C-alpha cells in the first residue's frame, strides 16, 4: 500500500511539472535552411524558442566561429543560457531585455531585467566577433527583428544605452494564433 501511495504522489508531481512545462518557454539550437542573399539555400544553426508545441521562427542565426567555438557550439551554449534565464523568471519571457556592453574589452550581448542594468559576467549571453566592435546596436536590432511579418520590436533607448525587448517579441509570437509552427 505504501508503494502505491508513493507512486501516486510522484505521478501528481510529474503531472504538475508537465502542466508547468507547457507554459514555460525554452530555447533550442536546431539546424535550419535559410535563404542567402544570392537566393541559395544554406543550412545554419539557429536559436528558436518553444512553448508547448509552438515554436518561433529563427531568432538568432549562427554562421561564424569564435575562438575554438563552432557556430553549433555557440548556438547550443546561448540557447541553454536563454532557457536558464527564462527558468529563473518562472518560465516567462516578460522583462527580458537584451543590451550590449564590454567585458574584458570584448563586445558582448547580455540579458537584463530592466533598462537601468548593464552587462556583466553573470548576465552575458555571448561574445561578438572583434570586427563587430562599434556595430553592437545594429546587431541587437537584427536579433530582435524576427517575426512572422518580418518586423521586429523597436530597440528602446534609455539614455545612451539601447535595450531590445527580446522577450516581448517572442511573447507576441506565442500569443498570435497560427503565428508559430508546430514542432
pLDDT tens, position by position, 146-176: 533 334 444 443 456 788 777 776 777 777 7
32, part of any domain: yes
Q: Nine-digit cell at 89? A: 523568471
Number of domains in the chain: 1
In the block, residue with C-alpha cell 516578460 = 94
Domain that holds residue 167: 25-182
19, part of any domain: no
The residue among 41 and 69 whose pLDDT is bigger is 69
Helix (H) or strand (E) holding 159: none
Record the pTM.
Answer: 0.74
177, part of any domain: yes
13, part of any domain: no
1, part of any domain: no
90, part of any domain: yes
User: What 8-state DSSP symbol labels residue 133?
Assistant: T
Q: Nine-digit cell at 105? A: 574589452
147, part of any domain: yes
CA 35 → CA 42, 69, 109, 114, distances in Å? 6, 24, 25, 35
126, part of any domain: yes
Q: Are 93 and 111 in contact (CB under 8 A)?
A: no
> Is the predicted pLDDT of residue 6 greater than 60, yes or no?
no
Amino acid at each position: 500500500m505504501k508503494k502505491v501511495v508513493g507512486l501516486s504522489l510522484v505521478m501528481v508531481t510529474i503531472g504538475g511539472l508537465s502542466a508547468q512545462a507547457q507554459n514555460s518557454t525554452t530555447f533550442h539550437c536546431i539546424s535550419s535552411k535559410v535563404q542567402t542573399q544570392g537566393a541559395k539555400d544554406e543550412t545554419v544553426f539557429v536559436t528558436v524558442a518553444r512553448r508547448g508545441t509552438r515554436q518561433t521562427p529563427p531568432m538568432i542565426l549562427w554562421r561564424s566561429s569564435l575562438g575554438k567555438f563552432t557556430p553549433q557550439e555557440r548556438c547550443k551554449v546561448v540557447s541553454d543560457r536563454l532557457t536558464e534565464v527564462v527558468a529563473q523568471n518562472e518560465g516567462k519571457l516578460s522583462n527580458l531585455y537584451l543590451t550590449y556592453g564590454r567585458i574584458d574589452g570584448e563586445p558582448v550581448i547580455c540579458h537584463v531585467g530592466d533598462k537601468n542594468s548593464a552587462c556583466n559576467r553573470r548576465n552575458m549571453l555571448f561574445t561578438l566577433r572583434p570586427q563587430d566592435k562599434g556595430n553592437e546596436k545594429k546587431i541587437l536590432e537584427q536579433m530582435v527583428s524576427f517575426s512572422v511579418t518580418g518586423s521586429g520590436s523597436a530597440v528602446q533607448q534609455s539614455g545612451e544605452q539601447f535595450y531590445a525587448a527580446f522577450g516581448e517579441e517572442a511573447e507576441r509570437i506565442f500569443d498570435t494564433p497560427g503565428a508559430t509552427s508546430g514542432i
